[in-house]
Amino acid sequence: MSRLDYKLLIFDWDGTLADSIGRIVEAMHVASQRSGFQLRDDLAVKGIIGLGLPEAIRTLYPEIGDDELVAFRQHYADHYIASEAVPSPLFEGVVESLEAFRAEGYHLAVATGKARRGLDRVLKSHGWEDYFDITRAADETASKPHPLMLEQILAHCDVRPEQALMVGDSSFDLQMARNAGMDSVAVSYGAQSIEALRVFEPCLAIDHFSQLHAWLGQRAN
C-alpha cells in the first residue's frame, strides 16, 4: 500500500496527541483512595488506558458493584476535571503535523476512550471543536478494542478500511485497528511499552509524532 492509498488518519487522544497519561494515573489513584479500594500500581493503571472508563475501572477492580462504580467514576471525574483546568499539553509536533495532513487532503478523525463530554471539553480548550472530520468517544459507541467506533468513522468519511490508518499508544488501539481490518501505527511515548504494541504488528513505530508525517511523505516518493 502506498501513502496515496491512505485517505483517513485516525488518532487516539490520551497518550497519542495529548500528554495526559500522568493525570489519568493520578486521577485513578485518587478515585481508588476515595472509594476505599486498594491502589493498583502505575503500570496496571497505564495498562487500562484506552478503554472506556467503566470498562477500565472494572478491569482494575472486577469485584466492584454497580453503585460503587457510579461513585468511583464521579471521584475520578471530579479530580481529573480539576487537574485539567490547565489542559494537558499536546505532544511536540502534533499541531504542525496535523496542519500538514489537512493541507495534504487527508481526512482526520479521533477515536478515544474518553467520554463525549470530556472529549468536547479538551477539543474546545484547543480551539478544535470543528477541526476533525469526525470524533468518536467511548460512551457513545462500543469501547475499544471493539471496532465499532472505527467502522462509524469509516462510514462517515466513506473510506474503506485499507485506506485508513489508526495511530495509538495502547494495545486497545492497535487491536481495534486489527479488528476493523486497517493498518496501525504505534507510538512509544504513551501509556504502554513499544514492546507490548509490537505484538499487534503495527506498520510503523514512532518515538516522536512528527515521524508519522515524514514516513507518509517518504512513501509518496
> For residue 145, is the peptide bond before it cis, meaning its omega torsion is within 30 degrees of 0?
yes
Q: What angle do CA 17, 40, 143 make, to 5 degrees?
A: 45
| Neighbour tally for 148: CB within 10 Å | 16
Catalytic, out of 5, 14, 139, 207: 14
**Where are the extended beta strands (E) located within the chain?**
8-11, 107-112, 134-137, 164-168, 183-187, 204-206
Catalytic, out of 12, 133, 173, 183: 12
Residues 6 or more apart in contact with residue 212 via CB below 8 angstroms: 97, 167, 185, 204, 206
Let me know if 19 is a catalytic residue.
no
Please state, in angstroms and rounded to a whole number, the distance separating the CA atoms of residues 87 and 90.
9
Let me know if 5 is a catalytic residue.
no
Give me the active site residues, please: 12, 14
